[in-house]
Amino acid sequence: MSSEASGKEKDSGVNGSPVNPAGLRKPLQSTQEKLRNELYSPKKPQSNLSVNAPEFVPRKTTFSVTAAEFVPRQQPYPQYSKGLYEGFQDLQIGEYYIPTAEDVLNSFQETLTALISQPGNMEELMRVVIDQMKQLPESEQSILDRVIDMLFEQCVTEPNFRYTGARLCKLLCKELKSHPIFKNFRSAFLTRCKAEYLKKEEMIANPETVDRLCGFTMFIGELFLNLEAEKEVGGNITFEKIGILRSPVLKDLLLILLQHPTDFTVKCATQLLKLTGSTIEDTAYLNPTPEGSYDEVFLQIRQLDSYPDLNRTSKCLIKSVIDLKDNNWGRSRSSNPATPEESYQPVYQQAAEFTQNEPVFYNQQGQPITAEEAGYYDQAYDTYLQEEEEEYARWEAEGFEEQNPWVEGGDYQAWSSDPNQLEYDNGYYQTGPYSENYMDEEIEAAYEEFLRQQPPPPQ
């Protein structure tokens, strides 16, 4: 390309428009047309403000105590979806909320599940459910059987819930005794237990239901210990155990387990007797007839001690129950109360005995013996006591009253005449030449040596 052509290219811009030496070019023809037509001109906003406007003075407002009450205008609610609106309508509280039977059953089932892991919060967790039960209308009579079935099944099938379930039965009987639906809760629940009790022969004959029979037996034991019935005596309301649970229910369940001995049934029977044995004997007044005696149960247990099909663990359990019964269930004296009030007396006495500091030793027959007879005779401790007695006798022989200025008749004036011999301040006294900052020669020399060994302070 020639230099002349190159120069022409430099002097011409886009579309052949000339370029000035400063590098600026004229706008395109189309741009010039738009500018002429003010298409790109900014539109200024129209304003009514003026610098010549008069000064603004607000209007005078007059307030009156007799003015009408101001009520803001109600804004229309936004249109929510139908599901959200219905859910909001269900959130009624107080006296306007009447729960349905399904609401109560769902809450009760959730609470039963939570009580397995939180048995200590039973009253707190059940408070909401009980409040819902109290608001149920009398027409919901069918809910009683469903509540009992749910509670009974969990008590029988869940080992960790049997004690909690027995306490829950007691709580429901107490809190709902005035409700028209649940006022007969105890009798209805015992009726459900009776229906299961009548199946004991069938359950023991079927290996698949033996586990359920043992669970039911253990729950009856917990129910016997916790559930009580009101009884009016002399115008006073007292509580006593339910006699029918002691005999025949609990007794027959123990007998049928022991009459079909396996390691599993024997373990269940011995555990139950360890749990309820003392209470069974203390409540013999509830069933004074021969049918209420448990002699047949313990006779059956003693015979199983030589049963060949039981393992060593089962025989140890049998022996432990027999020893416990022969030793009055670990209590100090025999208890055969004639009244319900006396049935709790051994418990208080037993608690008082546990407050003693010295250990209690027993021989093989279960009789209390001394520590020396048990082989725990401490000769060093006996020597120490003997030395203490000798020291006290020597101290007393030297004249305790003459040495101690604080006893009556002591020579207090001789001690207090020299202020260097006694310093007394707010009940604290010191004898001798010592004071708070006193140091003898040896202590002073050691202190000076300690100071010399310290490094010099930083400059």
- pLDDT by residue for the chain (459 residues), tens only, comes to 444 444 444 444 444 545 555 567 777 887 777 777 765 555 555 667 777 878 877 776 667 777 777 777 655 544 444 454 455 555 544 445 688 899 999 999 999 999 998 888 899 999 999 999 999 988 888 999 999 999 999 999 999 999 999 999 999 999 999 999 999 999 999 999 999 999 999 999 999 999 999 999 999 999 999 999 888 777 788 888 999 999 999 999 999 999 999 999 999 999 999 999 999 999 999 988 888 999 999 999 999 988 888 999 999 999 999 999 999 888 865 444 444 444 444 443 444 444 444 566 677 666 777 766 766 555 555 665 677 677 767 766 665 444 444 444 444 344 444 444 444 444 444 444 444 455 667 777 778 778 777 777 766
110 lies in some domain? yes
In a domain, 262, yes or no: yes
Pair 298, 347 in one domain: yes
DSSP category for residue 455: P
> What total of structural domains would you count in the chain?
3
Q: What is the pTM of this model?
A: 0.55
Say yes or no: 174 and 285 in one domain.
no
Decide which of 171, 198, 225 is a domain's last residue: 198
Residue with tokens 């050691």: 446
Burial class (CB in 10 A: 0-12, 13-18, 19+), 397: exposed
What's the domain range around 283? 234-356
Give SS3 for 431.
Answer: strand
- Do residues 189 and 106 both lie within one domain? yes
pLDDT score of 332: 64
Cis peptide before 248 (omega within 30 of 0): yes
Domain boundary residue among 177, 198, 219? 198
pLDDT for the residue 406: 43
Query: Is residue 403 helix, strand or coil?
Result: helix
Pairing of strands 361-362, 368-369: antiparallel
Q: Are residues 284 and 371 in the same domain?
A: no
- What distance lies between CA 377 and its chain's CA centroid? 44
Helix (H) or strand (E) holding 423: strand 422-425
Domain boundary among 147, 170, 198: 198
Q: What angle do CA 98, 103, 106 make, to 5 degrees?
A: 160
Please state, in angstroms and rounded to a whole number, the distance separating the CA atoms of residues 398 and 447: 39
Tell me what pLDDT residue 166 has: 95
R_g over Cα of the chain: 48
Measure Cα distances from 400 to 276, 390, 396, 412, 414 in Å.
59, 15, 6, 14, 16
Same domain (yes/no): 342, 366: no
CA-wise closest residue to 220 among 272, 298, 288 = 272
pLDDT at residue 42 in the model: 54
- Scored b (16 or more CB within 10 A) or e, 181-209 reads bbeebbeebbeebeebbeebeebbeeeee
Q: DSSP E strands: which ranges in 280-421?
A: 361-362, 368-369
Q: Please indicate, yes or no, whether residues 352 and 372 belong to a single structural domain of this protein.
A: no
Residues 150, 112 contacting (CB under 8 angstroms) = yes
Is 193 inside a domain boundary?
yes
Chain centroid to Cα 459, Å, comes to: 63
pLDDT for res 419: 47
- Count of other CB atoms within 10 angstroms of residue 161: 21
